[in-house]
Amino acid sequence: MKKTLLAALFAVAGLGTVQAETTSLGLATDYSATTPSVESVLGYPIGSRISSPDAMYDYFQALHHAHPEQVQLFHYGKTWEGRPLYYVAISSPANIADLGDFKAGMQALANPQNTSSEQAKRLISELPASIWLSYGVHGNEISSPEAAMLTAWHLLAAEDQATEAMLDNTVVFIDPIQNPDGRSRFVSRYYMNTGMEHSADRISVEHNEPWPSGRSNHYLFDLNRDWIALTQPEVAGQVNALLETYPLIFVDLHEMGGDQTYYFTPEARPYNPLIAKSQREALWTIGENNGRWFDEHGFDYFTREIFDAFYPGYGASWPLYHGTLAMTYEMASARGHKFRTRDGDILTYGDGVQRHFIASLSTIETASKERQRLLQDFWNYRNQGIQQGKDSKERYVFIDSAQDPAASKRLAGLLTQHGVQVQQSNSQFEACGTDFSAGSYVIDTAQPAHYMVRTLLDEQVDMAPDFLAEQERLRSNNLPDQIYDVTAWSLPLMFNLEQQRCARLPRMDLAAVSGDLIAPGQLLHPDAKIGFVSAWGDMNAGRLLTAALREGLSVKQSDLPFTFKDGKEYPAGSLIFTRADNGDDLSATLATLAATSGATIQGVDSSWIVEGPNFGSDNVQQVHAPRIALAWDEPFSSLNAGHTRYLIERQFGYPVTAIRADQLRRADLSRYQVLILPTSYGSLNDAFGEQGQKNLTQWVERGGVLITFANATQWAVDADLLASALEKEAKDKEVEVHTEKRVAGLLLNSAEHLHQYVNAADTDPYWTSGVLTKLDVDQEHWLTAGVPDNVISLTVGNQIYRPLTINNGRNLMTYASADELSVSGYLWAENKQQLAHKPYLMWQPRGRGMVISFTQEPTYRAYLDGLNVTLMNAIFGGASHARPLR
């Protein structure tokens, strides 16, 4: 029995033309009935229902069981909600039988240090091509995962020579669903809201997702921005799988607004300058072949206008820096079964499935046709990386582990997870004229992952000068700029770590670094008579504090530095555990916590302090385990709420209670010591109203610690909780603009004069997409305990605040001077001038409590590790310095 593609698809509204299209493309019309179709496994024709992640998993299991000789299924992790993360390899029986050899062959090509050019030549002539198709990273971009099932079915069921030849020549990796938790959220709520008929109306409940949308994962991350910090299992697991297989092509298949058409490569400007010319050329080849297929079907498409390839933290960017061709495809979204476009057409779910299916096939065809060229380019790319490093005067990168043991360890482990070779010295050494402590990290940029190293570590990646000139031109004409995302992402800067680079490597013993992000710490002198101390200032100590609080230990924190008789100095914020306040098992508990947190804990036999406060001083605070509330739901930013919850729960190791804005308006919050308001999209004045403002003010006055980020700080100002003010753009007011409807005559004597007049209106400062900025730190406060005198922050948007005056509070972190504050990325000159010395972190006591306001999001994408100690001070230090009536 044969089935046709038509028979499989025809039941779906909007797919009636498929038969003609597949025939005209020369696609197979005969399909094997032994390959399970979506309908036979799931009970409905492909494209007629938005499949749940569970159903999709069943389908790929069924394909594997029906064709084990052609389909292998690999797990690479589990989501936060426990769903499997997996990919399948589909190819000819011979290629699948040799999959181990294939992976070994790609590893050999990826590592030219261990591979001769003779071996490489043989591999390039013999290895199959490979392509990795990733679907559904944004859970509410629904059609691509369905297309993953159709693509897999077609490859296995089609009984024509072209498909067979393609599989003889190509290994196809399919990651059908990168974000199962997000899709699950979308699908369950979508069907919950449907009625007797599906609605195509964009204002219908079917087409309006409640907060948070299905786009993000469980912790509400946009997974398509997480490929730098790899904080989420969906991304970290996929990166690991990609480093095992090194596919030649990677495609990330998305959806965009329903009124658009279809987008594929080549990408928009600005290009990241670390992308190779050969890659850009091959991306054109892929785009051109897609264009040919789309032309044959009469499908509209566009290229080059949006979706740039500058920020490397997209799924469709990261693989580029390992030598893979990576790109994004975008289909107009029906965001449900059907959608009425502005032109009045009905776009169906099936339309999306069909276009993603065609784009998948056409790209597999390019991989197959260009097999040898792509293998050769990949080998050349990896070699070129090694050569670039060798030729560089900055060949070696050194990072001193002593400046921040936790952050430097995390960086080294993270780089290893990115497929970068990192080494660690077990002794002190001197390099680039600087002394480095034992345990410092060395990265030789003469390695095949050279461009990945550069992308993640370089402190500045420039956009092309003509592109920037164009942005300035647009801006001066009051038109929006074309910068799509942050223009700065250097990991050492974001971790507040200095790096040194120079041409030579001194002689020393080096050991390879693992992907572990925490090095076990230790308890020194466990039999100490008086107690134990641990130096504050990094996340090793931070994790020790939260773990100790959760264990119920009694812990104190000093507001000031202190020095023991033996000369050992401890910075402000250092943790103190006395035997007198704790049980007999203190040493054993601390030994365990040292191992898991990474902290070094020192036993002390005397509490005699020669400088700084004694343990019984008023300057030493008992830390009570605070109950932390986090504002949730509309109008808060789901991203910022999610990033913050993730950071505190999974990196700090401390639970958070999420509370909806509506509850915060009136609920009794006295059980909570800390409340964090993330940034918001909509107005907090509207959400909280007068009642909410009163409720939160009273809670602060009774001892609550209110922490606000970005737009929530604006609300704190409006609510009279923070005596700052939000600024308009600073400008010369020589020209007076009209405010009345009948005014005196005015002579505009030049085009420039007209320009000045038009721009003299009160406006907000110009928007920035995101740059790394330097802050000056006032270190004489518990809120900055253990924080260095400068830290790096990320500045996005256009909010600039006035400093607090001394009668109201303190400005504990302020932007550096105009010529120093922008450390990476591209920031407009006017913003530099106006941001200089303005506050980033403000503290204002109120009654028995206080308000701690960040003018930006310190938890942005959970990758600004250099701000973590400050945030811990705000939460835990804030709670121990508030004076509620207990």
Least distance in angstroms from the C-beta of 465 to Zn ion: 30
Nearer to Zn ion, 21 or 308 (CB): 308
| Residue 222: CB minimum distance to Zn ion, A | 9
The alpha carbon of residue 190 and the mean position of all alpha carbons in its chain are separated, in whole angstroms, by 27
Applying the rule CB under 5 A, the residues between 572 and 631 that interact with Zn ion are none
3-state secondary structure labels for all residues of 530-565? CEEEECCCCHHHHHHHHHHHHHCCCCEEECCCEEEC
Provide the minimum distance between the beta carbon of 141 and Zn ion in the complex, in angstroms, as a whole number: 5
x/- site string to Zn ion, residues 286 to 325, per CB under 5 A?
Answer: ----------------------------------------
In the region spanning residues 836 to 855, those forming contacts with Zn ion, defined by CB under 5 A, are none
Q: Is the CB of 207 or the CB of 254 nearer to Zn ion?
A: 254
Provide DSSP, 237-292: HHHHHHHHH--SEEEEEEEE-TTS-EE-SSPEEEEPTTS-HHHHHHHHHHHHHHHH
Instruction: Note whether 356 binds Zn ion by CB under 5 A.
Output: no
185 binds Zn ion (CB under 5 A): no
Binding segment for Zn ion among 55-63, 253-261, 542-550, 623-631 (CB under 5 A)?
253-261
Q: Between 143-157 and 53-66, two packed helices, what is the crossing angle to 10 degrees?
A: 10
Cβ-contact 581, 554 below 8 angstroms:
yes
Please count the CA atoms within 13 angstroms of the CA of 523 that sit on its side-chain side. 19
Q: Choose between 311 and 654: whose C-beta lies nearer to Zn ion.
A: 311
Cβ-based nearer residue to Zn ion, 154 or 254: 254
Backbone angles phi and psi of 336, in degrees to 5: 160, -160
Which of residues 222 and 865 has its CB atom nearest to Zn ion in the complex? 222
CB of 140 to Zn ion, least distance (A): 9
Helix axes 349-369, 371-391, angle to 10 degrees: 70
Provide the minimum distance between the beta carbon of 224 and Zn ion in the complex, in angstroms, as a whole number: 6
> Between residues 213 and 582, which has the closer beta carbon with respect to Zn ion?
213
Stretch that binds Zn ion, among 137-145, 154-162, 238-246, 271-279 (CB under 5 A): 137-145
CB 707 to Zn ion: min, Å: 31
Nearer to Zn ion, 141 or 538 (CB): 141
Q: How many residues bind Zn ion (CB under 5 A)?
A: 3
> Is 322:248 a contact under the CB 8 Å cutoff?
no
Q: What is the DSSP string of 50-107?
A: ---HHHHHHHHHHHHHH-TTTEEEEEEEE-TTS-EEEEEEE--HHHHHTHHHHHHHHH
**Which is nearer to Zn ion, 349 or 699 (by Cβ)?**
349
Quote the tokens at residue 367. Answer: 């991989």
What whole-number distance in Å separates Cα of residue 308 and Cα of residue 240? 25
Q: Which stretch binds Zn ion (CB under 5 A): 134-142, 648-656, 742-750, 877-885?
A: 134-142
Strand partners, 398: 442, 500
Please give the structure tokens belonging to residue 55. 């159903």
**Of the candidates 331, 327, 338, 328, the residue with the CA atom closest to the CA atom of residue 358:** 331
Distance from C-alpha of 840 to C-alpha of 803, rounded to nearest angstrom: 9
Which contiguous run of DSSP H or E holds residue 693?
Answer: helix 684-701
Q: Mark the segment that binds Zn ion (CB under 5 A) among 49-57, 248-256, 257-265, 710-718.
A: 248-256
Nearer CB in complex with Zn ion: 256/604: 256
- Min separation Cβ 328 and Zn ion, Å: 8
Of 47-55, 133-141, 564-572, 581-589, the window that binds Zn ion (rule: CB under 5 A) is 133-141
CB of 878 to Zn ion, least distance (A): 37
Q: Which of 67, 83, 138, 810 binds Zn ion (CB under 5 A)?
A: 138
Alpha carbons 74 and 175: distance in angstroms, whole number: 10
The radius of gyration of the chain from alpha carbons, rounded to an integer in Å, stands at: 29
Q: CB-wise, 256 or 367, nearer to Zn ion?
A: 256
Strand order in the sheet with 84-90: 71-78, 84-90, 170-175, 129-135, 249-256, 325-332, 262-263
- What is the C-alpha separation between 89 and 70, in angstroms, rounded? 8
Q: What is the nearest approach in angstroms of Zn ion to the Cβ of residue 138? A: 4
Compute the half-sphere exposure of residue 68: CA atoms within 13 Å on the CB side of its CA: 1
Sheet containing 562-564: order of strands? 569-570, 562-564, 609-611
The distance of closest approach from Cβ of residue 743 to Zn ion in the complex, given in angstroms and rounded to an integer, is 50
Which one, 314 or 396, has the nearer CB to Zn ion? 314
d(CA 78, CA 248): 26
Which range binds Zn ion by CB under 5 A, 130-138, 532-540, 698-706, 733-741? 130-138
In this complex, which beta carbon is closest to Zn ion, that of residue 330 or of residue 857? Answer: 330
Q: Choose between 254 and 297: whose C-beta lies nearer to Zn ion.
A: 254
Can you list the positions of beta strands (E) in 547-640?
Answer: 556-558, 562-564, 569-570, 575-578, 600-604, 609-611, 620-622, 628-632
Residue 136: CB minimum distance to Zn ion, A: 9
Cα(419)–Cα(136) distance, integer angstroms: 24
Binding status of residue 254 toward Zn ion by CB under 5 A: yes
Considering only 254-262, 336-344, 645-653, 831-839, which stretch makes contact with Zn ion by CB under 5 A? 254-262
| Residue 354 beta carbon to Zn ion: minimum distance, rounded to whole angstroms | 18
Min CB(591)–Zn ion separation in Å: 47
Please choose, out of 80-88, 138-146, 293-301, 800-808, the segment that lies near Zn ion by the rule CB under 5 A: 138-146
Residue with the CB atom nearest Zn ion in the bound state:
254
Using the contact rule CB under 5 A, the part of the chain among 141-149, 517-525, 696-704, 878-886 near Zn ion is: 141-149
Q: Which is nearer to Zn ion, 143 or 587 (CB)?
A: 143
- 435 forms beta bridges with 430
Q: Which stretch binds Zn ion (CB under 5 A): 204-212, 251-259, 429-437, 767-775?
A: 251-259
Smallest separation (angstroms) from Zn ion to the CB of 253 = 9
Neighbours of 749 (CB within 10 A): 8
Q: Which residues bind Zn ion (CB under 5 A)?
A: 138, 141, 254
